[in-house]
């Protein structure tokens, strides 16, 4: 079997055999008068051109833009409703309910386990090493991959802890599991990190999938645009599972503005500002008596440890400031998102007095 055939052998057999829904927009391009999709010929109320028509299932103009910013070929890109939809699609594509499993490395992003629960897939957990700033336990991950494990989720930089996973260790996992599991690297926050994305490794590693999103660095969380980057064969299978029209017309229009040269320049400036504010917070936070520990971060948030997280959260809430208590992941921790300078001043002001 070729490496790509070996990856496809991990897909649920029913999905491989599935004849996907063939939408009107997929079946026929061009033409002058569209009477094939039971659409209204116009939008009577809003006079919004195009809102009466179903959108392109995977708009080529958006795929091209995303491929450009992520440095991959357009054939490697699936546009999704946020990275979350990519997680759900991967579970439903690769894990047979009641039989297969995923592997996660807690403390990490909660949606992997939720998506596994929805699909009735098992979850094997191999914790990150707290004593080493939440480093991957690479040998333990590799040892834990049973034949049931179809997906290994690695979040880099990791939420909620904030650090990149070691690139060489991630690649070792990808290569060692080449024929045994798909490795999904969730890079939702990688724009804020000092290291480049692993997307450039997909061409050489068909079992590598990278998740990206416009939610964070592009400030686009409300529009729900993400991308699953993978080898074309994997993208083709995911396309069988995704809903027929995931990207609404207004979202496409807004995304194209966000990814215009001006939009990309604005995102770069936002990243610059947020990373500079992050440095200011990182310098100030350890000086406050309430803060027992500050973890290094490659993201737009900072995890701190305090004596009593509930008390600290209440102090924030009393001043109208909401952080996130992550104590169920790491005892007595609070995750603080980097905001505007004024918002960060509010964080510092409160924590200096707790």
Shortest-Cβ-distance residue relative to ligand PLP: 82
Q: Which of 83, 101, 121, 351 binds ligand PLP (CB under 6 A)?
A: 83
Site for ligand PLP in 223-252 (CB under 6 A): 226
Which residues touch 221 (CB under 8 Å, ≥6 apart)?
82, 215
Our finding on whether 213 is near ligand PLP (CB under 6 A) is yes
Cβ of residue 33: shortest distance to ligand PLP, in angstroms?
38
User: Tokens for 12?
Assistant: 């649920």
* Minimum distance, C-beta of residue 298 to ligand PLP, in the bound complex (Å): 12
Q: Does 107 bind ligand PLP (CB under 6 A)?
A: no
Judged by CB under 6 A, the residue of 55, 63, 67, 82 near ligand PLP is 82
Contact string 7-46 vs ligand PLP (x = CB under 6 A): ----------------------------------------
Question: Does residue 106 belong to the site contacting ligand PLP (CB under 6 A)?
Answer: no
With binding defined as CB under 6 A, does residue 297 bind ligand PLP?
no
Residue 50 found at the interface with ligand PLP (CB under 6 A): no
d(CA 45, CA 21): 30
CA nearest 334: which of 319, 317, 342? Answer: 317
Query: Using CA atoms, how far apart are residues 93 and 343, in angstroms rounded to an integer?
Result: 41
Rounded Cα–Cα distance for residues 159 and 83 (Å): 13
- Does position 109 bind ligand PLP by CB under 6 A? yes
Between 94 and 218, name the residue whose CB sits nearer to ligand PLP. 218
Pick out residues in 128-187 that bind ligand PLP (CB under 6 A). 155, 159, 186
Q: How far is the CB of 254 from ligand PLP (least distance, A)?
A: 15
Stretch that binds ligand PLP, among 80-88, 122-130, 312-320, 343-351 (CB under 6 A): 80-88
Q: Enumerate long-range contacts of 336-345, CB under 8 Å, 24 or more apart.
A: 336/281, 336/301, 336/302, 336/303, 336/304, 337/300, 337/301, 338/274, 338/277, 338/278, 338/281, 338/300, 338/301, 338/302, 339/277, 340/277, 341/277, 344/277, 344/280, 344/281
Q: What is the CA angle 50-52-53, rounded to 5?
A: 70
Query: How far is it, in rounded angstroms, from Cα 111 to Cα 153?
Result: 10
Of 109 and 134, the one with the shorter C-beta distance to ligand PLP is 109
- Give min distance, CB of 213 to ligand PLP, in A: 3
Residue 215 engages ligand PLP in binding (rule: CB under 6 A): yes
* Distance between CA atoms of residues 237 and 12, nearest Å: 10
Assess contact for 201 and 174: CB atoms under 8 A.
yes
- Pick between residue 109 and residue 323 the one whose CB is nearest to ligand PLP: 109
In the 8-state DSSP scheme, what is residue 308? Answer: -
What is the chain's length? 354
Binding site for ligand PLP (CB under 6 A): 82-84, 109, 155, 159, 186, 188, 213, 215, 221, 226
């Amino acid at each position: 079997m070729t490496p790509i055939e070996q990856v496809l052998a991990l897909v649920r057999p029913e999905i491989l055999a599935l004849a996907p829904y063939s939408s009107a927009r997929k079946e026929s391009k061009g033409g002058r008068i569209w009477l094939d999709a039971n659409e209204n010929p116009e939008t009577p109320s809003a006079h919004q051109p195009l809102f009466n028509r179903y959108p392109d299932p995977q708009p080529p103009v958006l795929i091209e833009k995303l491929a450009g910013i992520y440095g991959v070929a357009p054939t490697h890109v699936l546009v999704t409703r946020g990275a979350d939809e990519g997680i759900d699609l991967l579970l439903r594509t690769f894990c047979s309910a009641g039989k297969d499993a995923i592997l996660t490395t807690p403390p990490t992003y909660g949606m992997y386990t939720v998506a596994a629960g929805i699909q009735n897939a098992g979850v094997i957990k191999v914790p990150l090493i707290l004593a080493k700033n939440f480093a991957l336990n690479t040998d333990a991950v590799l040892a834990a991959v049973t034949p049931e494990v179809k997906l290994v989720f690695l979040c880099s930089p990791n939420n909620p802890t904030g650090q990149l996973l070691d690139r060489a260790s991630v690649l070792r996992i990808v290569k060692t599991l080449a024929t045994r599991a798909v490795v999904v690297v969730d890079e939702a926050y990688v724009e804020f990190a000092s290291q480049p994305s692993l997307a450039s490794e997909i061409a050489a590693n068909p079992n590598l999938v990278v998740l990206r999103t416009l939610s964070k660095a592009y400030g686009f969380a409300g529009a729900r645009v993400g991308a699953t980057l993978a080898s074309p064969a994997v993208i083709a299978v995911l396309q069988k599972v995704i809903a027929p029209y995931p990207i609404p017309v207004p979202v496409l229009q807004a995304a194209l503005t966000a990814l215009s040269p001006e939009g990309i320049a604005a995102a770069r400036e936002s990243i610059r500002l947020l990373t500079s504010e992050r440095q200011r917070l990182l310098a100030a936070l350890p000086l406050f008596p309430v803060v027992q520990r500050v973890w290094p971060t490659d993201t737009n948030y900072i995890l701190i440890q305090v004596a009593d997280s509930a008390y600290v959260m209440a102090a924030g809430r009393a001043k109208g400031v909401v952080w996130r208590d992550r104590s169920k992941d790491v005892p007595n921790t609070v995750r603080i998102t980097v905001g505007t300078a004024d918002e960060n001043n509010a964080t510092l002001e409160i924590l200096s007095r707790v």
